[in-house]
Structure 1
Amino acid sequence: MRDYVKAIEAVQEAAEHDETRAHTKEIQDQIWKCQQAQFAQREGESDEDVMQRAMRDPEVAQIMGDPIMQSILQQAQANPAALQDHMKNPIVRDKINKLISAGIIRTR
């Protein structure tokens, strides 16, 4: 259905239920495929287009309006390695992953 954000969220949920890590490679491959399809779909979007599209999602708008998340994002901008510590918190990790899926945070 080409809704890669929902597909990534579903695969990430599958990862949470893969307690034995038996499907880690398959899960990572699916996330990578969805992300690549997302990047291709969004090719040519300006930063402003990305932000406008992302902010139409109420969850993204809530995350971006959260002062704690704003602080975390500012820290990450100044020191990307600091984001690894924040990713240990499952709530923050879910929010960061949502922002990545929305295209607000770009990974290399």
Structure 2
Amino acid sequence: MKEYTKAMEAAQIAQDADEEHKHTAEIEQQMVKISNALYAERSNETDEQTLQRAMRDPEVANIMNDPVMQQILQQAQSNPGALQDHMKNPIVRSKIQKLIAAGIIKTR
């Protein structure tokens, strides 16, 4: 169906639910496939096009307009290690994962 963002969100929910880590390898394998498909689909986009597309998603727009998230993202630019600390907060982690899925934060 090529709804990669929704697929990534579902995989992240599965990862969170897999508390006993019985399906970690399978979930991670699916996340890699989804990431590769997203990357291939968006490989020809400019950063500006990516931002425009992502901002059409109301959830992404809300995250990007949140002053706390703006501060976290600015801090992450100057200190990428700080992002790891923020990822310990499940609310911040889900927002960052949403931005990654939208292509705002690049992991490659």
TM-score scaled to structure 1, two decimals? 0.98
Runs of 4+, deviation exceeding 4 Å: none
Where structure 2 has 5 or more consecutive residues not aligned to the other structure, the ranges are none
1:1-108 aligned at under 5 Å gives the runs 1-108=1-108
Aligned residues: 108
Query: What is the distance in 2 between the residues matched to 1:35 and 1:3?
Result: 12
TM-score scaled to structure 2, two decimals? 0.98
Offset of residue 17 of structure 1: 1.1
**Partner SS for 2:100:** helix
Offset of residue 68 of structure 1: 0.1
**Partner SS for 1:88:** coil
Cα-Cα RMSD: 0.5
Where structure 1 has 5 or more consecutive residues not aligned to the other structure, the ranges are none
Offset of residue 43 of structure 1: 1.3
